[in-house]
Amino acid sequence: MKADNEQRIGLLYGIGAYGMWGLVPLFWPLLKPAGAVEILAHRMVWSLAVVGVALLALRRWGWIRELLRDPRKLGLITVAAAVITVNWGVYIWAVNAGQVVEASLGYFINPLVTIAMGVLLLKERLRPAQWAAVGIGFAAVVVLAVGYGRPPWISLVLAFSFAVYGLIKKKINIGGLESLAAETAVQFLPALAYLLWLGSQGSADFGAHGAGHAALLAATGIVTAVPLVCFGAAAIRVPLSTLGLLQYLAPVFQFLLGIVYFHEAMPAERWAGFSLVWLALSMLTWDALRTARRNKAEAVRLTRATRAASASAATVPDGVTSVVLPDGATATVPDPVAATVPDPAKRPEPAA
208-217 pLDDT, tens digit per residue, is: 888 999 999 9
Report the predicted TM-score, pTM, of the whole model to 2 decimal places.
0.79
321 DSSP β-pair partners:
333
Using CA atoms, how far apart are residues 288 and 174, in angstroms rounded to an integer? 25
Model confidence at 111, pLDDT cuts 50, 70, 90, reads confident
Mean of the per-residue pLDDT values for the chain?
Answer: 83
pLDDT in the model for residue 352: 43
Question: DSSP string spanning 279-336?
Answer: HHHHHHHHHHHHHHHHHHHHHHHHHHHHHHHHHHHTTSPTTEEEEE-TTS-EEEEEHH
Q: How far apart are CA 59 and CA 163, in angstroms?
A: 31
pLDDT tens string 219-230: 999 999 888 888
User: pLDDT tens-digit profile of 132-190?
Assistant: 888 888 888 888 888 888 889 999 999 999 889 888 888 887 877 888 899 999 999 99
Q: How confident is the model at residue 20 (pLDDT cuts 50, 70, 90)?
A: very high
Q: Give the C-alpha separation, 223 to 8, whole Å.
A: 24
Q: Could you tell me if 159 and 319 are in contact, meaning their C-beta atoms sit under 8 angstroms apart?
A: no
Q: Cis check for the bond before 111: say yes or no (omega within 30 of 0).
A: no
* Spatial contact of 76 and 168, defined as CB atoms under 8 Å apart: yes
Over residues 298-307, the mean pLDDT reads: 82
pLDDT of 79: 94
For residue 116, what are the contacts with CB-CB under 8 A and spacing of at least 6? 134
Measured at the alpha carbon of residue 98, what is the angle toward residues 133 and 101, in degrees to the nearest 5? Answer: 20
The pLDDT of residue 201 is above 70: yes
